[in-house]
Structure 1
Amino acid sequence: MDDRTKTILTAMRKVLRVAQANSKALIRETGLTPSQLIFLQMLDDGHEKTAGVIATRMGITQATTTALTHKLEALGFVTRRRGETDRRQVWLTLSDKGRAVLAIAPDGVHTRFHQRFIQLKDWEQAMLIASLERVADMLGPEDLDAETLAEGVENALELPSFRIEGN
Structure 2
Amino acid sequence: MKRYDEVLVALRRIIRATDLHSKQLSKTSGLTAPQLLILQTLRHNDDMTVGEVARKVSLSQATVTTIIDRLEKRGYAVRERGSSDKRKVYVHLTEEAHKALMNAPRPLQESFIRQFQDLQEWEQTMILSSLERVAYMMDAQHIDASPVLDVGALDRIGNNSPTEHSSGNP
**TM-score, normalised with respect to structure 1:** 0.80
> Could you report, residue by residue, the CA deviation over 1:33-79 in whole angstroms, capped at 9, with x for unpaired residues?
11111111111215121211221232222111110010001111112
Structure 2 CA distance, aligned partners of 1:15 and 1:82? 41
3-state SS, counterpart of residue 44 of structure 1: helix
- The offset of 1:101, in angstroms, is 0.7
Does 2:85 match 1:85? yes
Runs of 5+ in structure 2 lacking a partner? 154-164
Structure 1 CA distance, aligned partners of 2:169 and 2:41? 17
Matched residue type, 1:72 = L
- The offset of 1:31, in angstroms, is 0.4
In structure 2, relative to structure 1, the CA distance for the partners of 1:80 and 1:7 (3 Å cut) is same
Q: What's the counterpart of residue 157 of structure 2?
A: none
Q: What's the counterpart of residue 2 of structure 2?
A: 3
Does 2:166 match 1:160? yes
Matched residue type, 1:3 = K
- 1:66-81 pair list within 5 angstroms: 66-81=65-80
Structure 1 CA distance, aligned partners of 2:4 and 2:81? 49
In structure 2, relative to structure 1, the CA distance for the partners of 1:7 and 1:59 (3 Å cut) is same
In structure 2, relative to structure 1, the CA distance for the partners of 1:162 and 1:110 (3 Å cut) is farther
In structure 2, relative to structure 1, the CA distance for the partners of 1:46 and 1:57 (3 Å cut) is closer
Q: What's the counterpart of residue 101 of structure 1?
A: 100
- The offset of 1:129, in angstroms, is 1.6
**TM-score, normalised with respect to structure 2:** 0.79
Question: How many residues get paired?
Answer: 154
In structure 2, relative to structure 1, the CA distance for the partners of 1:127 and 1:115 (3 Å cut) is same
Q: List 4+ stretches of structure 1 deviating above 3 A.
A: 161-164
Matched residue type, 1:160 = S
> Could you report, residue by residue, the CA deviation over 1:138-161 in whole angstroms, capped at 9, with x for unpaired residues?
2225432127xx659xxxxxx834
Q: What's the counterpart of residue 62 of structure 1?
A: 61
Q: What's the counterpart of residue 130 of structure 1?
A: 129
Structure 1 CA distance, aligned partners of 2:12 and 2:22? 15
Structure 2 CA distance, aligned partners of 1:162 and 1:80? 33
In structure 2, relative to structure 1, the CA distance for the partners of 1:163 and 1:74 (3 Å cut) is farther
Percent sequence identity is 34
